[in-house]
């Protein structure tokens, strides 16, 4: 008798627990901010959280109940939602993004997650939970549009720099060549005042030419548009040629470039780019070294590495300046009459130098004991 009474009581208890569980899940669904639906194997809506559908899409329950689950899906995404339905039947779960039509005709974006399950009697059902992401999608669209604008502006900027630098380089080189010829062949025939004006023109052309080259390098470096043209180069000859090019600057300050090359170094590098490295380092050494001083240029082999050094006994570099020396627009703040230092410059030379060295898989470092104690720049690149 007791056993006979126990079975109905147990079943009653289980029924109450199931009803409470169903009520709990129903309350959770009805108070959720996502769209929750249960579809049958024909993809008809059997359950939906009414309040969320009304608030988000504007549809009352009677407009949706027993309708096929994708009847208000955007026409462009119907096939994608059908694909989602097939995937969830096959795999048990699936995720998509798609648009649902609001009752007022607007289209809203949703992140849709679907899961397959069986009900109490073994029928296949699909649970879908859709979270609105319209604001997110609009922001993504805005970012994409703005990014396209930035790309177009960057292309215009680069095209302008390419054209401008190309058009400027030719006349600047002609003017600089003419001034050098005038200086070398006719300086003795020029009056002191006239020679002074020729010198002003020469310095202005050199600065403008350096600015043009720096702008072109910066444009290429910052757009990752530099592809190294590597081939075997006699580095001894490259440095000697640059020293010859800068003889006028050395002569003006009565300086001497001392070359220390214990052997001939031939190495694979981009000749044009590495010339910029040597020019920038030697230019700085000339600029920041005193009148009647020596600048040392050294080449050394370190196992499978090559070390190129430029050493001077100039104004030196403080600890604070070292930390920002290779950043854009960084310049030493010094002025000494006995060094005859000209402060004009873009502050881009060492930044460009470092980038070019890194493109060669190398490193650059500076050593200095402080102000007025000279500096040593060391470039180390792998020998290939």
Q: Read off the pLDDT of residues 269-322 as tens digits, 9 standing for 90 and up.
A: 999 889 989 999 999 999 899 999 999 999 999 889 999 999 999 889 988 888
Give the pair of three-digit tokens for residue 262: 């214990």
Residue 14 pLDDT greater than 80, yes or no: no
Give me the pLDDT at residue 1, please.
Answer: 45
**Quick one: CA torsion of 258, 309, 333, 339, rounded to 10 degrees?**
-10
At residue 220, φ and ψ (nearest 5 deg) are -70, -40
Architecture of domain 142-225: Orthogonal Bundle (1.10)
The domain locations on the chain are 24-132, 142-225, 228-384
Per-residue confidence band for 25, with pLDDT thresholds at 50, 70 and 90: low
Q: Which distant-in-sequence residues (6+ apart) come within 8 Å of 270 by Cβ?
A: 228, 229, 230, 356, 359, 360
Give the tokens for residue 274.
């590495």
Tokens 């170094």: give the residue. Answer: 265
Distance CA 290, CA 156 (A): 43
State the DSSP H helix or E strand holding residue 211, giving kind and residue range, or none if neither.
helix 192-222
pTM for the model stands at: 0.55
Asked if pLDDT for residue 340 goes beyond 60, the answer is no
Half-sphere exposure of 300 (CA within 13 A, CB side): 10
- Judged against a pLDDT cut of 90, whether residue 377 lies above it is answered with yes
Compute φ and ψ for 301, nearest 5 degrees: -100, 130
| Choice among 100-104, 121-125, 168-172, 320-324 with the minimum mean pLDDT | 168-172
CATH of domain 24-132: 3.30.450.20
% pLDDT > 70, the chain: 87
Tell me the torsion sign for CA atoms 160, 162, 166, 172.
positive
Within 17-106, strands assigned E span: 35-39, 45-48, 93-101
Tens digit of each residue's pLDDT (9 = 90 or more) over 108-150: 999 999 999 988 888 899 899 999 999 999 999 999 999 999 8
User: What per-residue confidence (pLDDT) applies to 252?
Assistant: 86
pLDDT score at 26:
60
Instruction: Round to whole Å and give the CA distance between 80 and 84.
Output: 6
Using the 8-state DSSP alphabet, how is residue 81 labeled?
H
d(CA 309, CA 312): 10
- Write the CATH number of the domain with boundaries 228-384: 3.30.565.10
């Amino acid at each position: 008798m007791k056993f006979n009474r126990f079975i109905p009581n147990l079943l009653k208890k289980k029924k109450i627990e199931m009803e409470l569980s169903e009520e709990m899940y129903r309350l959770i669904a009805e108070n959720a901010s996502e769209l929750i639906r249960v579809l049958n194997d024909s993809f008809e809506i059997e359950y939906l959280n009414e309040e969320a559908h009304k608030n988000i899409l504007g549809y009352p329950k009677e407009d949706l109940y027993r309708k096929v689950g994708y009847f208000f899906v955007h026409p462009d995404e119907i096939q994608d939602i059908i694909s989602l339905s097939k995937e969830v039947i096959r795999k048990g779960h699936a995720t998509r993004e798609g648009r649902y039509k609001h009752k007022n005709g607007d289209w809203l974006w949703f992140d849709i997650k679907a899961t397959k399950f069986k009900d109490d009697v073994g029928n296949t059902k699909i649970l879908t939970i859709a979270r609105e992401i319209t604001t997110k999608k609009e922001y993504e669209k805005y970012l994409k549009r703005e990014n396209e604008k930035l790309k177009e502006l960057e292309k215009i900027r680069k095209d302008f720099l390419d054209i401008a630098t190309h058009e400027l380089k030719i006349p600047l080189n002609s003017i600089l060549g003419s001034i050098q010829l005038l200086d070398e062949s006719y300086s003795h025939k020029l009056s002191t005042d006239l020679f002074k004006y020729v010198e002003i023109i020469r310095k202005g052309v050199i600065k403008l030419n350096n600015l043009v080259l720096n702008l072109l390098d910066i444009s290429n470096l910052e757009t990752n548009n530099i592809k190294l043209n590597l081939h075997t180069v006699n580095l001894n000859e490259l440095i000697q040629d640059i020293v010859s090019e800068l003889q006028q600057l050395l002569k003006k300050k009565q300086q001497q470039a001392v070359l220390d090359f214990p052997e001939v170094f031939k190495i694979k590098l981009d000749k044009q780019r590495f010339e910029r490295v040597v020019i920038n380092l030697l230019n700085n050494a000339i600029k920041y070294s005193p009148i009647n001083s020596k600048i040392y240029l050294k080449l050394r082999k370190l196992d499978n590495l090559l070390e190129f050094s430029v050493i001077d006994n100039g104004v030196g570099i403080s600890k604070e300046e070292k930390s920002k020396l290779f950043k854009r627009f960084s310049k030493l703040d010094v002025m000494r009459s006995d060094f005859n230092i000209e402060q004009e410059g873009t502050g881009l030379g060492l930044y460009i130098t470092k980038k070019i060295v890194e493109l060669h898989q190398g490193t650059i470092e500076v050593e200095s004991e402080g102000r007025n104690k000279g500096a040593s720049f060391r470039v180390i690149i792998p020998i290939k």
